[in-house]
Amino acid sequence: MTPTELLPAPPPHAAARRALLAGSAGNLVEWYEFGVYGCFATVIAANFFTPHPGTPGGAEALVATYASFALAFFFRPVGALLFGRIGDRFGRRPALVLVIGLMTLATTLIGLLPTRADIGAAAPWLLTFLRVLQGLSAGGEFGGAVSLMVECAPPGRRGLYGAWQSFTVALGLLAGAGTAAALAAVLPAEALYAWGWRIPFLLALPLGTVALWLRTALEEPPGGPVGGPPGRPAAADPTEAVDATDASGPTGPTGPAGPGEQARAVVLGIGRIMGWSAAGYAFLVVLPSHLQSALGASFRDALLATALVNLGFAASILPAGLLSDRVGRRPVMLGGALGIAVLAHPLLHLLQSPGASPQTRAAAVLTAGVLVGLLAGPGPAMLAEMFPRRVRCTGLGLSYALANAVFSGCAGLFITALTARTADTAIPAHYAAGACALSAVALLTLRGNDHREPLR
């Protein structure tokens, strides 16, 4: 029997769409919250990390805010291992139900948290603890959701289905930025700092409840969990190894996949998406506070720029995923990585130029978002194709979590601290361009026909 014959039949289209909806819902809630945290970084700094609560914090308070942000990211790999093992052994649904429940609880509690003015130095520690809980849940979200979407995708549509994970990330970030912009428009600054910032976090409760309901009604993808009850079919030959040399197709060496081979595949996965992680956070999340603290932009102008860059990001993701199903993951992702490496500095220069028109600046941030979308669209399917089903949740989740911990979670801390130290306002461009240049080298190892091969 050939490996292809061992693969289960694709699910019916209706079941595939339900899986797509359930997988996407949790991503939207997660990234809505992360978008809100990024947009309200200066407000959170004032309420939790400044010695004089309720007043705008300086660079030191903002660095402390992003340190809390980074700490949550460093718990993502722990969550990826924990919930990834649950997803690989017991099924995608239990893991996805657990992570959305934990995520919703932690986000809602942030909206109810007393500030430093209320309880003193305990406030930032409580906020950091809740960020850690979010980091754990977010670490398990990506591996389970992407595995579910890609495994349920119809033939020739893995890139498009996987792109929905990134698309709902964009929707979540847009929703967060839009909510923050709306509150900034209707509330005076005093009210926004005093209580208005809580509203977006509390909105996560109804959103998370809907996502939880969708996931509890979810059916497992064809094949069931590898460690499930006897008699349930496995999705792939259990002796098949991760191909750590190419790490992307089904034609790897036979025999047990040892920890060393799996570790090499994870490292290669990190290299392929480090540009996506770094540029995504530099442009989509860190941009509002950078424009305010380094370039003197108003809160509303910074939020408008963030909304535009996320709009460009959202608009390009699904077309990029669909295009990668036709021409391959490598040309689409290489185009995004090289585009950012070449254009990051000119685009940031346009934003800083006092003579640039509003239309030119809008075009600059839209372009930045589109280029990140070229990486984010094919990225989930590319990672899923690197690992066999029995370790897919853990392998792709850990690759993504580690890349985000290093290159996304540290982005705000690194950019803010280094800009304050050097007075170089082009630090975000240096960061994004350098990471994408290195990522382009790793993407060259992709084979041209990976997207056409069956999942292992």
Each domain of the chain, given as residue ranges in start order, spans: 12-223+241-452
Show pLDDT as tens, one digit a residue, over the chain (456 residues). Answer: 444 444 455 555 777 788 888 888 878 887 787 677 767 777 877 788 776 544 444 555 666 666 666 677 788 899 999 999 999 998 888 999 999 999 889 889 988 999 888 888 788 888 888 888 988 988 888 898 899 889 888 888 999 999 999 998 788 877 887 888 888 889 888 888 888 889 988 988 998 898 888 888 877 776 555 444 433 434 333 333 344 444 444 333 333 356 677 789 999 999 999 999 999 888 877 776 667 666 666 767 777 777 788 889 999 999 999 999 999 999 999 999 999 999 999 988 887 777 778 788 888 889 999 999 999 999 999 999 999 888 999 999 999 999 988 887 777 777 777 877 887 878 888 999 999 999 999 999 998 887 888 887
Q: Using CA atoms, how far apart are residues 235 and 88, in angstroms rounded to an integer?
A: 11
pLDDT score at 441: 96
Q: In terms of DSSP H, where are the helices of 224-357?
A: 259-284, 287-293, 299-327, 329-352
Dist. CA 81–CA 13, nearest whole Å: 31
Q: For the domain with range 12-223+241-452, which CATH number is right: 1.10.420.10, 1.20.1250.20, 3.40.50.150, 3.30.70.360?
A: 1.20.1250.20
Distance between CA atoms of residues 41 and 252, nearest Å: 45
The rounded distance, in Å, linking the Cα atoms of 435 and 6 is: 39
Cα distances from 168 to residues 117, 269, 401, in angstroms, run 36, 21, 17
Half-sphere exposure of 32 (CA within 13 A, CB side): 28
pTM exceeding 0.85? no
Smallest CA-to-CA distance from 7 within 382, 325, 454 is with 454
